[in-house]
Amino acid sequence: MADISVPEPFPISQIANRFLIFDVDAVTYARREHNITGVLVGTIAHMSQQNVFLGIPLELMPEEARLLVEQGHAYIADDVDVHNKGFLEMNREDRLAFLQAMDKQGMDAALNNQKKAEERSEKALQRKGLARKVQENAARRASEALESSSAATPTDAEADTSLFDSPPRSASPAISQAPNGLDPFFVTPTTSYPRLPTPPISPTTPLPHVPRTYPLFAYLHSKGYFMTPGLRFGCNYTVYPGDPLRFHSHFLATGLDWDEEFDLLDIVGGGRLGTGVKKAYMIGGADTSTNDVSDKGSGRRTEDGVRAFSIEWAGL
């Protein structure tokens, strides 16, 4: 299968100071082309405790979102503002189609639920010799429901009603007043695509606010590393030499300011912990003491003035 290409820049939705990607193609593209893994946070509403098979959306660290924006691969879209403008400015034809689609989904769900209930009743009554009567009743109800659902369409007056101001009932009274008395389910859309267009790029949207560890994150990313949150190891990032699905992490990285004081016991603890889990403990930060990005003492050269040091615990 050929790799799917995503037009750049692609949108990153900002919701309550969280940065999310809802497009599965953009998720795989960012991982494959830009070493951005994020964390899948999508779950099932009635199984909120399951955490094995999580799906979209993909939540990005602020560092990941900012890096993609600064490199021109993505842009930040205020999701609330996009949805408010998109739905309020929807024309009558689109609104009519949207309401009709929601009514049809609600009636289909209600019919499916009724069908399952009748199947359970039929199985129970079959043991009592009443299967024929049940089948006749089921056929009659299905025929009535089909006729009522096919004849129900929203009117132009209902289409002019705002989606946000509609009363708490179905947009198509003809469906709720079906001869068989079956009421449609109220459906909450799980996606705004394709009702809303791709959000436009806004030059006034500020860059994501990032912590002081961002220089180290950007430096390691420029070297081709993948990074994930390092909370479970007591650090800022776990650093992988390739895709985390294929490699174990090599470093436990902690970002520091150049003139920041730290306790030597933290270095000892980090070094022992890293060695204990077969990794090296890394500290690093941006060198703000000089504009020269070359390390004359060791002959090495750093990028953007960032230097990193790895510590391993050796038995003596």
Query: For the sheet containing 226-229, what is the strand order?
Result: 226-229, 237-240, 251-255, 280-286, 306-311
Q: Is 235 within 8 Å of 251 (Cβ atoms)? A: no
| CA R_g for the chain | 28
CA atoms of 158 and 173, how far apart (whole Å):
10
Q: Is 313 within 8 Å of 274 (Cβ atoms)? A: yes
How is residue 190 written in tokens? 């799980």
CA atoms of 15 and 78, how far apart (whole Å):
7
Q: What are phi and psi of 279, to 5 degrees?
A: -140, 170
Q: Is 255 within 8 Å of 216 (Cβ atoms)? A: yes
Name the helix (H) or strand (E) containing 310: strand 306-311
Catalytic residues: 240, 248, 279
Q: What are phi and psi of 87, to 5 degrees?
A: -80, -35
DSSP E strands in 123-250: the ranges are 226-229, 237-240
Q: What are phi and psi of 47, to 5 degrees?
A: -135, 55
